[in-house]
Amino acid sequence: MPIARIADKTIVIGFDMETDIGSWTSGDRGVKEGTPELLSVLKNHGIHATFLFTGRECRNNPAIVEKVLAGGHEVGNHTMFHETVGTPVYDTIGANFALDSEVKARLELATTAIEEIAGARPVSFRAPRLFGSTAMIVALEELGYLADSSFPSYFHGRDFLPYRPSRQDWSKPGGMGILELPPFYDTEGTTEDKKRSRDQWPMLRLKGAAWFADLCLRLLGRVKDARGRSALCMYLHPWEFVEMPQTVASDEATISFKPFLYRNTGPLAVRALDEFIGAMTSNHVEFTTMRDLARAW
């Protein structure tokens, strides 16, 4: 059922349920070990979040999906294999690109896989690495999705209030029914390197709960719609809440990760999330899911 209203200050937390370190590894300790930590924190604060599973992780971890649903949370879609279904906004190795002509079929495959495990068709989506496109958003609406959170507003230097996109250009408001929830960014941050450093992820983990809470409160007070409502959409990953390695080795290569991918993972990240949610609720900020925000906005 749709929620009765949207609070003046709302935050949506979305967890991208993928293999560890953004699919740079095949491990899923994050999903298996990190998710119970997240569920405990959310339960202690009495709030709900959206867990966006890849189809692969959903199939491989049905017991985790069941625990997420039992906690009253939303299960959404994060593609089938963490593949790229849109336009990249920065260079990355092994992004597994899909052609525009393939996007709808790939999204439908992931949707069906998640529905089979979760028992309900997902209606919320986020593209891996925020690599989205107009073809992607049109396909999502045709598949019955209510919400997407893929628009990289930090890259474009754009507002990040929810909006209904155009079928001709997903970056512009239009007449579509799906609601775009751009992840927010630090509008006061540096503008160097195509603004990647302004993205809100992974600042909660790197800079701590107090810094991140202060950022959110400033933005909630400044970025409002015509009705005076403000909504911030953030994204995290379950692997951040388990200690991650600095390197991984396979038969073909050894990968050394940059510090932002492993620094403060594990208990420090769990504590930061707990303290952040506490700070927000004490400042009368409410939390909801992508699905419920889309129904009520």
The larger pLDDT score, comparing residue 93 to residue 282, is at 282
Say whether pLDDT at 1 is over 80.
Answer: no
User: Which amino acid makes up residue 76?
Assistant: G
**Does residue 5 surpass a pLDDT of 80?**
no
pLDDT of residue 97: 85
Q: Is 270 left (phi over 0), alpha (psi -120 to 50) or beta?
A: alpha
Question: Identity (one letter) of the amino acid at 125?
Answer: F
Is the pLDDT confidence value at 3 over 50?
Answer: no
Judge if pTM exceeds 0.75: yes
Radius of gyration of the chain (CA): 18
pLDDT band at 88 (very low <50, low <70, confident <90, very high): confident
What is the Cα–Cα distance from 161 to 50, expressed in whole angstroms? 18
Q: What is the pLDDT of residues 261-293, one digit of tens each?
A: 999 999 999 999 999 999 999 999 999 999 999
- Nearest residue to 129 via CA among 107, 159, 109, 149: 149
77, 224, 59: which is closest to 147 by C-alpha?
A: 77
CATH superfamily label, 9-296: Glycoside hydrolase/deacetylase (3.20.20.370)
- Longest Cα–Cα distance in the chain: 57
Using CB atoms within 10 A of its CB, is residue 247 exposed (0-12), middle (13-18) or buried (19+)?
exposed
What does the pLDDT look like over 127-158, one tens digit per residue?
999 999 999 999 999 999 999 999 999 999 88
Residue 190 confidence (pLDDT): 59
State CA 252 to chain mean position distance: 31
Domain ranges for the chain = 9-296
pLDDT in tens, 7-63: 899 999 999 999 999 889 999 999 999 999 999 999 999 999 999 999 999 999 999
Residue 287 contacts residue 48 (beta carbons within 8 Å): yes
- Could you please report the per-residue DSSP string of 168-229? S-TTSB-S-SSEE-PBPB-TTS---GGGGGGBSTTHHHHH-HHHHHHHHHHHHHH---TTS-
Distance CA 17, CA 67 (A): 13
Q: Give yes or no for a contact between 52 and 78, defined as CB atoms under 8 angstroms apart.
A: yes
Query: How far is residue 94's CA from residue 247's CA, in Å, rounded to a whole number?
Result: 17
Report d(CA 26, CA 36) in Å as an integer. 20
SS (H, E, C) 123-181: CEECCHHHCCCHHHHHHHHHCCCCEECCCCHHHHCCCCCCECECCCCCCCECCCCCEEC
pLDDT digits (tens, 9 = 90+) for 186-233: 988 755 555 677 899 999 999 999 999 999 999 999 999 999 999 999
Cα gap 282→122, rounded to integer Å: 31
Question: Would you place residue 2 in the very low, low, confident or very high pLDDT band (cuts 50, 70, 90)?
Answer: very low
